[in-house]
A = this chain, B = another copy of it.
Amino acid sequence: MAQTQTFSKNQQIVLDIIEKAKGPLKAYSILFNVQKKGINAPQQIYRALDKLIEAGKIHKIESKNAFVACKNSNCEVSKATAFSICESCEIVDEISDEKLSKYLSKFNEKKGMKFKRFNLEFFGLCKKCK
């Protein structure tokens, strides 16, 4: 329900950088980019990243240890994420497909496990790299 949320100074700095970026950013690359703003240590980045993920403003691309801004104004606090990743140019795009999202959210295993969250990563070649 995309509620407006206010972030702290460091959180906002990190969010701004990720939102401006064209692609996924790695934690240490964010760090190097904000040292002029007085952020000096990985902890400060990782703490901000944690909060932003929790808030659904960014997502972690697990296969790349990198972070992207959420395209969907908050992704229900990151409970259902899907990405397409080009294996050549490494461009990442968040997939917003209502049907896919519903299908996966409803999916349940035989084993009696109730899922609260999923993350899906598709790999291939983008138009340009094909």
Contact = CB atoms under 8 A, between A and B. Distances in A.
B107 A122 contact: yes
Copies in the complex: 2
23 contacts: A62-B121, A63-B119, A84-B113, A84-B115, A93-B111, A100-B107, A104-B120, A107-B122, A109-B122, A111-B126, A111-B127, A113-B125, A113-B126, A114-B125, A114-B130, A115-B124, A116-B125, A117-B124, A118-B120, A118-B122, A118-B123, A120-B120, A120-B121
Nearest to A99: B107
Interface of A: 62-63, 84, 86-87, 93, 95, 97, 100, 103-104, 107, 109, 111-127, 130
A53 to B, nearest CB: 12
A113 B124 contact: yes
A117 B122 contact: yes
Given A103-B103, A114-B124, 10 more contacts: A113-B124, A114-B125, A114-B130, A115-B122, A115-B124, A117-B124, A118-B121, A118-B122, A120-B120, A120-B121
